[in-house]
Amino acid sequence: MDAVTTHDCCASSRATTPDLVVIGAGSAGFSAAIRASELGANVALIGHGTIGGTCVNIGCVPSKTLIRAAEALHHAKSSSRFAGIAGAARINDWSALMAQKDQLVADLRGAKYQALLPEYETIRYVQGRARFTDAGIEAGGAIFPADRVVIATGASAAVPAIPGMDEVPYLTSTTALALDRLPKSLLIIGGGVIGCELGQMFARFGVAVTIVCRSRLLPGFEPEISDALAGYLRDEGVTIECGVTYRQIRQTEAGVALDLLAGETAQTIEAEQVLIATGRRANTSGMGLGTAGIALDRNGAITTDEHLATNRPGIYAAGDVTGRDQYVYMAAYGAKLATENALNGDILRYDSRAMPEVVFTDPQVASVGLTETEARRQGQDIRTVRLDLVQVPRALAARDTRGLIKLVAEAGSLRLLGAHILAPESADSIQTAVLAIKHDLTVTDLADTLFPYLTTVEGLKLASLGFQKDVAKLSCCAG
């Protein structure tokens, strides 16, 4: 049966049998479809639910605009760090702030997803849930060939296996960003990226926040950064309990109560609401992947090789559904790569060696490359340098010396292997280190490069100089 579309304006003028089927209409799916169209392929793009996927609808865009709003509140209150200045700010209308956030989401979804479909004549959008069958891929009342496919169905919030969780009303990152009112207190289970970002955000909105986690905050990042960030969050009134064991969660008259063990000590934490921030699980259920013989890992994510190919020839997967590198830009990158390999053979390899990671706390956390632990685990002979922001003139001028920079380099060549920054502008500063790692530069190359004075990124130069000398003994701009 020929493919059909629910949007006649987007119907292809070419043959009705697609050269490539893309399942998922989020960032990865659109990236795959657009790249295929650029390569001259006829594409069936199958989407289920709200077009645009996680990032624009329920993830990056709504969270980052609300985080900025919370920063505006905090920065007004913290202006007293400058002599002779006092400031204050408050929330006058929570519903207005949420409406503004929703409008931004709608505008970007319209401009970057819905409005793009008519621009690509060879992309046909089909609304429906896709399922692999013996006859092919069923969706939207049609059967599509399963010869060349890119699966990009994303992921959803994972719920931890805590006794009683099924009986407790809980928030996820999705519903927490759509609250019609702020709770008085909030318990966050999980100390990863989402837990840290939303925890600080709600605390700055005036909510009493407690974060609990099994290990430490941001366990995949350098421990020095995790420890420092935990201290800064505590300074803002966030309660943090790390290294705990969950025993039971239950509903109470006032909200929820979590029983846990902190070491050998039993504790109960109560709050009006609880937010689950314990990671994400790939959206693979109900797709008939077993029928298709597509292998999944133990967490339910699609297993792929270095070309993003599954174990079934012709079928590829990209983005969060693979369980790796769950960032929107990596989803888009992977989707383009998977598409080119699906159409032209396995000519490209997935490479995340120079992948930047950013946590939008304040100060921000940014990282690229290997941590010290990862490098040593690989058997690398390394050197590291830590530079506290008190040595960075920008931080002194801003009267905000929270943070640090840590560099990891090969001991002999001094080739940069990893860069890790905790600083107010680290999300922008990290890109210099990304390029350095991508092009195999050394810390000597960075130290010999001109950096503008009174910038946070200058800290990368100072940290690089730290491999050769004591930067505390240098004058301003001296190398």
Is 60 marked as binding a ligand?
Answer: no
Alpha-carbon span 232 to 400, nearest angstrom: 12
In this structure, are residues 366 and 429 in contact, taking their beta carbons and an 8 Å threshold? yes
Is 320 marked as binding a ligand?
Answer: yes
Is 64 marked as binding a ligand?
Answer: yes
Residue 74: what residue type?
H
The dihedral formed by the CA atoms of 252, 258, 259 and 265, expressed in degrees to the nearest 10 = -130
Q: What is the maximum span of the chain, computed from C-alpha positions, in angstroms?
A: 75
Is 193 marked as binding a ligand?
Answer: yes
Alpha-carbon span 264 to 241, nearest angstrom: 13
Q: Give bridge partners of residue 431 from the DSSP assignment.
A: none
The dihedral formed by the CA atoms of 15, 20, 25 and 29, expressed in degrees to the nearest 10 = -140
| SS3 of residue 161 by DSSP | coil
In this structure, are residues 48 and 128 in contact, taking their beta carbons and an 8 Å threshold? yes
Contacts 24+ apart (CB under 8 A), 389-396: 389/422, 389/423, 389/459, 391/459, 391/462, 391/471, 391/472, 392/423, 392/456, 392/458, 392/459, 392/462, 393/453, 393/454, 393/458, 393/476, 394/454, 394/455, 394/456, 394/458, 394/459, 395/423, 395/456, 395/459
- CA R_g for the chain: 24
Residue 105: what residue type?
V
Is 26 marked as binding a ligand?
Answer: no
Alpha-carbon span 257 to 250, nearest angstrom: 5
Q: Give bridge partners of residue 416 from the DSSP assignment.
A: 409
Alpha-carbon span 273 to 186, nearest angstrom: 5
Instruction: Look up residue 129 and give its DSSP letter.
Output: -
Is 197 marked as binding a ligand?
Answer: yes
Q: Which two tokens stand for residue 395?
A: 């931080």
DSSP 457-471: THHHHHHHHTTTS-G
Is 191 marked as binding a ligand?
Answer: yes
| Residue 51 Cα distances to 57, 62, 65, angstroms | 8, 15, 20
Cis peptide upstream of residue 363 (ω within 30 degrees of 0): yes
Known binding positions = 64, 190-197, 279, 320
Show binding-site residues for NAD(+). Answer: 190-197, 279
Which residues are annotated binding-site positions for FAD? 64, 320
